[in-house]
Amino acid sequence: MPVFAPPIADHLFILYDLLDFEGHAKLPGFEHCSRDVIEAVLEQSSRFSSEVLYPLHRSGDEEGVHFDDGKVTTAKGFKDAYARLVEGGWPALTADPDHGGQGMPHMVNVLFEEMINGANLSFGLFPGLTRGAYVAIAQHGTDAQKALYAPKLASGEWAGSMCLTEAHCGTDLGLLKTQALPKGDGSYSITGTKIFISAGEHDLTENIVYLVLARLPDAPKGSKGISLFLVPKVLVKDDGSLGARNGVSCGSIEHKMGIHACPTCVMNFDGATGWLMGEPNHGLKAMFAMMNTERIAVGIHGLAIAEASYQNAVAYARERLQGRAPSGPREATKPADPIIVHPDVRRMLMTQRALTEGCRMLALWTAQALDVSERHDDQGERKTADDMVALMTPVVKAFLTDCGVEVANLGIQVLGGHGFIRANGQEQYLRDVRITPIYEGTNGVQAMDLVGRKILHLDLFGSFAKPVQGFIARLEGDERLAEFLEPLAASYDLLEDATRLIRERSGLLPEEAGANAVDYMRLFALTAVAYLFARAAQVSLPKGNADFHRAKLTTARYFMQRILPDTASLHAKIVAGAGPVMEMDERLF
């Protein structure tokens, strides 16, 4: 039987033992975040995820959503679960108290999102997109827009969705054609069609707030001529009550590989009334407030599915009897031993575990920097943290979703034929998580953002290098940590050399950055995770008599000895350069 139980012990270890959340809670606005409060939040969100959302995971996938004459009805149980989500105040977890929010740290929200998406990714997309819309309006909306829309989105009473992609225009938003014509009263008439719009239409809320990219009549060509508009599904009166239905409708829904219980919509804007957000022709700046929030959130989708798949693989491996342990029978009274005794099964489980725990540390480390960037009293500290967030956002999105796919695939392999069939639930994890390396900017685009913008253009590498180099220098010569520090130092040297090579070559060969970006991104991510595992080992060594800490040290060793060596091959690929990638004539493909 499929299982799901959020790993709260690991959550608390990373928060308090690894990342000093007690010190973090001293940031302005976090005075209410005592350990008792945080543990209660995690416990309650764990209960909501496992008891309310997880039972709908399989049934929602099988039923999907229903589309009839422009209306989308969600699967049985989703509307009630959403009402309970709102009743519990969960959408308001990190929202500003001025908007009715709880003002919790991003670090706590990462763990909440891991839980709800691990329990039910299709469901988790609804509040996740709403949170992204809230962030964009809270940061870039006018005072009137904030007053009218932010509290409703913060509470979850209204939902949010973002409308970027068009049939001819995905990553290259400069090609979009949706038009915005001034109406003379401060509003605009929005006309165009958007595709692949997650949660674009549904029955969970009475209103949906769309953030829509469109062009003004005199807009410059390309991405410099894009503006952002706030377009509600139902028009809102000045007093906050709902008025007439706006000129926006769902034309169809997609039939897709996974996330069946979340509608992916074609949205038609037929002279819909909208309002400009931010400056004219600067819509991407405002939209990226939402997109960067969503990119980190999508990384958490990968982490969440990895955790769920790992748990189910372990449960099956403990029960499935097949063959005998190489060293002799472990269960002599039974006809065979459980498959968890077999080295190859252990290899798969340990890979799942190490990647999942590493991804969780990486996500929380980045969320910690995000909190600091928004709240620290010292502007220098805020700038350093902001650079770190900018550098790590594409890494979190791409690496965590790549790992989600890898871990879910291993989950099927552990179960063998029973993983390929529906009954045990593993195949759904792979179907659901497969979209995550694609939406919110493909992982190839994230890798190019890391290399082309964050490394070559903005030169943010130092925001990562400084803490890693400092950690290695401080603990060099500590024999207890040598098995963790030496692989980390070797990996960091490879990353530093790869960074140098790409910087030197990119000016000479335009294709160099793109040809090496994906390999560089993974080399970067593995080095970052190695740094965090080394820190986790430092914390765990003095407590190594406890089962939890012994397991943490064993997992860290596995990562250093069986996963981190991949950095050598990644470095070798980068040394090979763009030549092998680009030399084939297009006609010969």
> How would residue 292 be classed by pLDDT, with cut points 50, 70 and 90?
confident
**Is 476 marked active-site?**
no
Of the three residues 94, 125, 155, the one that is the final residue of a domain is 155
Confidence of residue 20 (pLDDT cuts 50, 70, 90): very high
In a domain, 368, yes or no: no
Task: Give me 481's structure tokens.
Answer: 């940590």
Amino acid in the structure at residue 103: G
pLDDT at 289 over 70: no
Q: What letter would DSSP give residue 246?
A: P
495 with 553, same domain? yes
Total count of domains within the chain: 3
Interval 248-273: pLDDT, tens: 999 999 999 999 999 999 999 999 99
Average pLDDT in the 549-553 region?
97
**Using CA atoms, how far apart are residues 551 and 555, in angstroms rounded to an integer?**
6
* Of 6, 81, 1, the residue nearest 50 (C-alpha): 6
Tokens for 316, please give them. 């099956």
Q: pLDDT at residue 166 above 70?
A: yes
Checking if the pLDDT of 291 tops 80, the result is no
386's CB contacts (< 8 A; 6+ apart) are: 369, 373
User: Has residue 421 got a pLDDT over 80?
Assistant: yes
The conformation of residue 355, written as its DSSP 8-state character, comes to H
Residue 168 and residue 148 share a domain: no
Query: Using CA of residue 216, residue 222, residue 224, residue 230, what is the dihedral sign?
Result: positive
Provide the pLDDT for residue 1: 65
Burial state string for 231-251 with b = 16 or more CB within 10 A and e = fewer than 16: bbbbbbeeeeeeeeebbbbbe
Alpha-carbon span 315 to 345, nearest angstrom: 12
Of 155, 185, 207, the domain-final residue: 155
User: Considering 440, 479, 483, 504, which one is annotated as catalytic?
Assistant: 440
**340-380 tens-digit pLDDT:** 999 999 999 999 999 999 999 999 999 999 999 999 999 99
190 in the same domain as 116: no
Nearest-angstrom CA–CA distance, 314 and 223: 48
Q: What integer best gives the mean pLDDT of the chain?
A: 96
Residue 267 located in a structural domain: yes
Q: Which domain holds residue 552?
A: 443-581
Please, are residues 200 and 265 in contact by the beta-carbon 8 Å criterion? yes
Last residue of a domain, one of 130, 155, 180: 155
Whole-number percent of the chain with pLDDT over 70: 99
Tell me: do 201 and 122 sit in the same domain: no
pLDDT at residue 290, as a whole number: 67
Distance from C-alpha of 82 to C-alpha of 525, rounded to nearest angstrom: 35
Residue 67 and residue 199 share a domain:
no
For residue 171, what pLDDT is reported?
75
Residue 237 lies in a domain: yes
Task: Write down the pTM of the prediction.
Answer: 0.97
Q: Is the pLDDT score of 114 beyond 90?
A: yes
CB atoms within 10 A of CB 221: 9
Model confidence band, residue 238 (pLDDT cutoffs 50, 70, 90): very high
Q: What's residue 174's pLDDT?
A: 72
